[in-house]
Amino acid sequence: MSKEEILLKDLNPQQRDAVLHTGSPLLVLAGAGSGKTRVITHKFAHLAKSKKLSPNSILTVTFTNKASEEMKGRIYHLIGKDTDISWIGTFHSQCNRILRREIKALGYNNNFVIYDDDDQSKLIRHILKEFKIYEAMYRGVVSRISSLKSSLVSPGNFLSQTNGFGFDEKLAKVYVRYQDELKRCNVLDFDDLIMLSVKLFEENPALLEKYHDMFKYVLVDEFQDTNYAQYRLLKLLAAEDNICAVGDDDQSIYKFRGADIANILNFEKDFPGAAVIKLEQNYRSTQNILDVSGAVIASNAMRKPKKLWTERGQGEKVNHCWLNTEEEEAKHIASVIKELYLKGKYNYKDFAVLYRVNFQARAIEDALREELIQYRVMGGISFYQRKEIKDIIAYMRLVINSDDNVSLRRIINCPPRGIGAATLSKIEHEAKKKSLSLFNAIKAILKVNGVAVSAREKLNGFIHLVEKIVSADYSSAADMLEEIVDKTKYIDFIGEEKAQNIHELIAAAEGKDINEFSDSAVLVTAMDSRNAENSVSLMTLHSTKGLEFPVVFVGGLEDGLLPYFKALNNKEELAEERRLFYVGMTRAKDILWLTGAKKRRLYNTKIQEQEPSRFLNDIPPHCCQWTEKSASPQPVAMPVKRIVKLSTPRLYMAGCRVKHPKWGSGVVRECYGDGDEQKVMVNFPNVGIKRLCLRFANLEKI
C-alpha cells in the first residue's frame, strides 16, 4: 500500500474527495460531527507528501489555540515531527508574525506591544475621563471600537460618517484619541493585528506578492466564524485556486463577535469556479438526534441544505419534558443524571447541561448539589463565584455582622463611591490601633474628623447606607437582597446579564431565612472539587462548539429564553438562535433531553408564565418522546398532541397564536376534537385560560 493510500484509507468518499481536490477554490461544508479536523489535517499531509509542497508554505488558520495545537499534533503524526509547520495558528498569531516582520511599512516599530482586554479597558477609561464622558459607558465604547475595527472602519472614516451629535459623535472622538495613543506608544490591540495586516497588504502590493510566493496553499478552519476583516485578509492572501475553506453555515453562532455568515454563503460567488463538497456522514450522534436537529435547522431560509446521516443506528428517542418551575426543571435534570449514573452505564463526566444565559445555572447548580452530584462550570464561573453575586452577598454579610472586615473591604468602594486605597489605609491603621472592626473604625474617624472633608462625606454616606439597610424589617433573605440592590444602586453600574444574575440570586432567596441563606451562599463555593475530572459539565450554548457528550440536556426551551427575547422580532437574529439550538443538540452522542418550565423568573424578580419554544414545533413527532411533569392544575399543551392521527385535520395546534374579538391575543395551550368540532384551551394574558369551541369562538390566527 502506497503512502497516499495509507493516508486516505480511513476516509469516507466525501472526505477523500475534499482531501484530493486541487485546481480550484474549495468549500467543504462539514456538518456537525462529520470529521472536519480529519479532513483539514489529512489535506495538509496530502499537500505536503503527494503534492510536494513545503509544509511551511501551507498557511493554516483557525480561531483558538486549542484547535491549532490539536491540528499540529495530528499533522505531526501524519508527516513526522521533524517538519516545520509554524504557519499553523490562529488569525491573531499569524498576523502578529507577519507584522513583526513588516509593520515598519505602516510607521510602527516591530517591537510593538500588544494590549490585552484589561489594558485596553484601562486606556479607554482614561480617555473617557479626559473627555469628561460618563465612565460607565466604557464597556459599550470598547465593544463598538472592536466592531468598527472588525469591519475595517478607521477612526478617520468613522469620524467623517458621524452627524456631529449623539453617542456616535462622542465615540468617534474617543476612537480617534484611542488609536492615536496606541500608535504614539507603539501599541496594538487584538483587533489591530487583523486590521493593520489588511492595511499592510492593500497599501503594499509588493509585500502582498512576496507572501503570495511564500504561501502556496491556504487552509481555513471554522470559516463560518470569520468576520469582515478576517475574510478580507484571506481574500488578499489566497491566490485564485489555492484556498480551501472548511466550515458549517448551520453552526454560525458568533454574530455578536462580528462573525458574518455571508462569508460562507457567498463563497462560490466571491471565489469563481469554486467546488463545494458536503460532509454529511456524522460519526457522533444517533439518527434520532440528527433527525430532530436537522428538522429544526431546516426551517432557516439562508443556509446550504445538508442531510446528516449516521451508521450508529436510530438510537433512543429525543426526550422533551415540560416542568412547572425552573426549580422543578433543574431537579428533573439532576434526577435523570443520578438515575443514569447509578445504572452504571455513564460517569458524571459523560453528562452536559446546556443553557442560553448564565443565570439559568443557579437552579441547576443547586439541584446538582442537593443530589451530591459533582459538577463544573465550563468556559465560565460558577454562579455563586461570580463577582456581582459575591459583591451582593458581601453586603448581606456586612448587614448581618458589621464586624465582618473581609466583606467591608470588598464593597466599601463597590459600586465606585470615591473611597480609595489611601483612605482605606487610614481606616485599617485606626482599626489596628484601637482594636476595632473596620466599620467601627470608620465611625471613630468620623467623630474626630480624622480624614479630609471629601473623604469624610463619602465615608459618612457609606455608613449611613449600611445602617439604613440594617434598620429595615425583612421577612426573608430575598427582601433584604432587594433592599441592598435598591439602596446601593449596584445594578446601575453593571450590564444586563450581570443584573439578571442578581435577580436570580433574589429568586433563590425567596422565603429563605436570612442567616441560613447567607451561610449557604458561602458554603456552596467551598464544594469539594477533588474529583473534578468526573464532573457534570455546565455551560452556555455558545461555549459548546467542538465538544461532545454521551448525554446532553438543553434547558430553558421557552420563547424569550431560546430563542432569546431580543431575537423574536428580527429574522437574522432568530435564525442565529435556531443555529445555536442546533449546535447544542448536535453535541449529544447517545441521549438528548430538551426541557423547559411553565414559570420562570426572567429579567426582573417577578415570576412569568412561559410558552414552549417555537423551535419545538419543527421537531418530527416520531423522533421525540413528549412528557409533562407540571404541578399546575391546568395542563400545558404539549406537542404530543400532534402525534394523534385524525380523520380530519385540526384547524389549530398547541402553541399557535390566536386573536379573540373580546379577549384579544392569546396562545393555544391544548387542542382536542376534529375539524369544526375542535375545542381549544387558550391562555389570554389579560383574562386567563378559556375553553372554547371553534364553531362559536370566532378566533383568528395571528
> Which of the residues are catalytic?
36-37, 221-222, 251, 587
- With CA atoms as reference, report the closest residue to 598 among 641, 565, 636: 636
- Cell of residue 343, nine digits: 445504572
Identity at 28, one-letter amino acid code: V
The span from the CA of 233 to the CA of 228, in Å, is 9
Half-sphere exposure of 388 (CA within 13 A, CB side): 23
- Cell of residue 379, nine digits: 468556559
For Cα atoms 95, 139, 90, give the angle at the middle one, nearest 5 degrees: 20
| Alpha-carbon separation of residue 382 from 111, 364, 376, 395, 448 (angstroms) | 39, 11, 7, 19, 44
The span from the CA of 541 to the CA of 547, in Å, is 11
Identity at 558, one-letter amino acid code: E
The span from the CA of 468 to the CA of 398, in Å, is 12
Cα first-last separation, the chain: 65
- With CA atoms as reference, report the closest residue to 293 among 517, 31, 61, 79: 31
Residues in the chain: 702
For Cα atoms 587, 591, 596, give the angle at the middle one, nearest 5 degrees: 85
| Strand ranges inside 367-513, DSSP E | 375-377
- With CA atoms as reference, report the closest residue to 247 among 275, 274, 285, 220: 220
- With CA atoms as reference, report the closest residue to 531 among 335, 339, 341: 341
CB 613 within 8 A of CB 562: yes
Query: Which secondary-structure segment (H or E) carries 60?
Result: strand 58-62
SS3 category, 659: strand
The span from the CA of 473 to the CA of 387, in Å, is 27
CB 37 within 8 A of CB 246: no
User: What sections of 537-676 are H helices per DSSP?
Assistant: 571-585
CB 289 within 8 A of CB 592: yes
DSSP 109: -
The span from the CA of 627 to the CA of 375, in Å, is 26
- Residues in a beta bridge with 668: 682
The span from the CA of 618 to the CA of 299, in Å, is 8
SS3 category, 22: coil
Residue written as grid cell 467623517 = 160
Query: Phi and psi (nearest 5°) for 11?
Result: -100, 145
DSSP 673: S
Query: Phi and psi (nearest 5°) for 534?
Result: -105, 70
For Cα atoms 445, 461, 397, give the angle at the middle one, nearest 5 degrees: 85
The span from the CA of 69 to the CA of 225, in Å, is 19
For 155-188, letters b (16+ CB in 10 Å) and e give beebeeeeeeeeebebbbbbbbbbbeebeeeebb
SS3 category, 276: strand
